[in-house]
Structure 1
Amino acid sequence: MTPSGVRWGRITDASGVLLRPPADADVPGVFAVHRDPAVYRHDPQETHPDPDHTARFLAPMRAHWAEHGFGYWAVLVPSAVWPDGVAGADSDDADRVLAGLGGIQHHTLAGRPVLNVYYRFARAAQGRGLARIVLDRAIEIAPLVATGVDIVVRTRPASTVARHVAERAGFIDEGLEPGSTDMQMLRRRAWHR
């Protein structure tokens, strides 16, 4: 099923935030976010060095959408939120700029399937509830795309803000991810839904 054929392929929040599948044309906007070392404060080695790196970063996300009909969204905000942001690449993005990425994708953890939640936003767009919007939509569609599968947020232990947002959305901090010394795991079990 193509992204346009599912109801979670394009979601507009009451605040004007738009969630949609990322496109090849989003590379400049995603690069504008991911080239900023402040966005990768806890993962400085992950900062994007150039647009080619960003294109490779987006490729598996786009492939997940093509295969499964859901995945990590391009997150766009009204341009007033980040006047220096890169305008959305889609003609239907209206007066919005790409503020980051977030959503859920299939993942395997300790040999078991889970849905991994990801969210990362431009510094100028942080603190505006974008992570909670992504988490709420992810929780809403999870049972529709993977019945009975837990949702996890994996983050660096020092990322207290990411953990706090997940905990407020009902995720339980389970400590370090099994087999890892540098990834904290929060889980929302399927029976919560």
Structure 2
Amino acid sequence: MPDTTARLIYRRPKPADLPSVFSIFGDPQTNLFNPAGPMTDVAQAGALLDRWLQHWEVHGYGWWAISSAQAPEHIFGFAGIAAHDYLGKQVINLGYRFAVEAWGHGYATEAAQNALNHAFDHLGLPEVFGLVRPDHTASIRVLEKIGMCRFGELDDVPGKAPSLVFRIHRDAR
């Protein structure tokens, strides 16, 4: 059963979401700050979706498929928390990616806040991290709005400026 707010529906992704994954993660505009760039074929999107589905099976949580309450069949974003490797250190990472049509409506902030609530209130996780490119000011603002603080840097992209690492502890909310 999906979780809902007044505006959004959050549900576990399913194989039928593959076209939405490819549409969003393959769009050059949604990947302006992604050093790897947009996905170029549906097989890459399928591999990502498979990783998400496996994460849900193993951990019981992960990225959600997100739609509006007015059009629940139309997925316009993906967001959530998942185990992630920060150059050899396992952390719980917050992530989100929305179609261009969903930009400017506060959906990323709402989804990110709901992911933190889920992490802390339902899963009892002690902390959540966020990784963002230093020039992605919109995403930095989202992390700051939900109470995350800059924690450090991660030199994760060869030849580029280090990514910024944000963190929030359950007790800091």
* Aligned residue type for 1:119: Y
Report SS of the residue matched to 1:152: strand
TM-score (norm 2): 0.87
Separation in structure 1 between the aligned mates of residue 79 and residue 72 of structure 2, nearest angstrom: 20
Q: What is the CA-CA distance between 1:109 and the residue it aligns to?
A: 3.9
| 2:110 match | 133
Contact persistence 2:96–2:108 (CA under 8 A): yes
Q: Greater strand percent: which structure? A: 2
Matched, 1:99 2:76: yes
Which digits, 9 at most, give the CA deviation of each residue in 1:71-105, with x for residues without a partner?
A: 011111256xxxxxxxxxxxxxx643111210001
Separation in structure 1 between the aligned mates of residue 149 and residue 117 of structure 2, nearest angstrom: 17
Runs of 4+ in 1 over 6 A off after TM superposition: none
* Aligned residue type for 1:52: A
Separation in structure 2 between the aligned mates of residue 44 and residue 171 of structure 1, nearest angstrom: 23
| 1:185 match | 165
* Superposed counterparts of 1:34-183, under 5 Å: 34-43=25-34, 45-77=36-68, 95-109=72-86, 112-143=89-120, 144-148=122-126, 150-177=127-154, 179-180=155-156, 181-183=161-163
Which digits, 9 at most, give the CA deviation of each residue in 1:9-36, with x for residues without a partner?
A: x211101x11111111100111121221
Contact persistence 1:37–1:44 (CA under 8 A): no
Describe the shift of the 1:103–1:187 C-alpha distance in structure 2 as closer, same or farther (beyond 3 A). Answer: same
| 1:12 match | 4
Contact persistence 1:22–1:74 (CA under 8 A): yes
Separation in structure 1 between the aligned mates of residue 113 and residue 38 of structure 2, nearest angstrom: 27
Q: What is the CA-CA distance between 1:165 and the residue it aligns to?
A: 0.8
* Aligned residue type for 1:191: D
Describe the shift of the 1:23–1:190 C-alpha distance in structure 2 as closer, same or farther (beyond 3 A). Answer: same
* Aligned residue type for 2:170: A
Q: What is the CA-CA distance between 1:164 and the residue it aligns to?
A: 0.5
Separation in structure 2 between the aligned mates of residue 164 and residue 78 of structure 1, nearest angstrom: 25
Identical pairs, percent: 29
In the alignment, structure 2 segments of 5+ residues that lack a partner are none
In the alignment, structure 1 segments of 5+ residues that lack a partner are 5-9, 80-93
Report SS of the residue matched to 2:81: strand
Q: Matched residue pairs, number?
A: 168
* Aligned residue type for 2:167: R
| 1:90 match | none
Report SS of the residue matched to 1:46: coil
Matched, 1:22 2:13: yes
